[in-house]
Amino acid sequence: MSEKKDTSKYKGKPKKSPMKPLVERPSAFEEDVELELTDMQNAFVWHYVHDSCTQTEAARRAGFEFPSQAASRLMSGKTNPNVITAIKIQKSELAHKFAITPEKTAKMLWQISEEAYNKGQFNASVSAIRELNELAGLKIKKTENLNITASLDNMSHKDIESRLKEIFGGDIVDADFKDV
């Protein structure tokens, strides 16, 4: 004797359980009433600023269904200018909280350089000094596109030499091309 279940009330696909949010709302999260952002927009701003993630990842963590599209829409500033304002405000509060200043960064880089040098870690010391120079504006990254379209095959050695003098503004190293 086999018992059969009454399947008459189970027609169609089974019902889906309601989706849970991908992440829990952070306890430190505070709504910003002045800017009139929705909960999801507030969550996006919080994740984008505090989690140091991409805008798409912030939208995903905030619970948007299509995070890439939502992130683009939120960051455009046209449809949601208050989101951009909230991001700027929170970033400035974060910078003020941790007091990230060029002076503090320079002091920290100098300490890193000295400690690395004293430990014999010369590569780390040089890297810290290089970053320090870049912070101070002493390192200039310069690239120049000369856009030379001359065909060297049709130019004599003297023509090439005179063209290089014209481009670089001075004498070039006196060497015979056979020596090089």
- Tens of pLDDT along 19-30? 665 555 554 456
Task: Output the pLDDT for position 7.
Answer: 56
**What is the number of alpha carbons within 13 Å of residue 97 lying toward its C-beta?**
7
What type of residue is 156?
A: S
pTM above 0.75, yes or no: no
For 52: left if phi > 0, alpha if psi spans -120 to 50, otherwise beta; the answer is: left
Residue 173's CB is within 10 A of a number of other CB atoms, namely 5
Rounded distance between C-alpha atoms, residue 63 and residue 73, angstroms:
15
pLDDT in tens, 77-113: 788 888 999 888 888 888 777 776 778 888 888 999 9
Closest CA to 106 of 127, 133, 126: 133
Residue bearing tokens 């007091």: 99
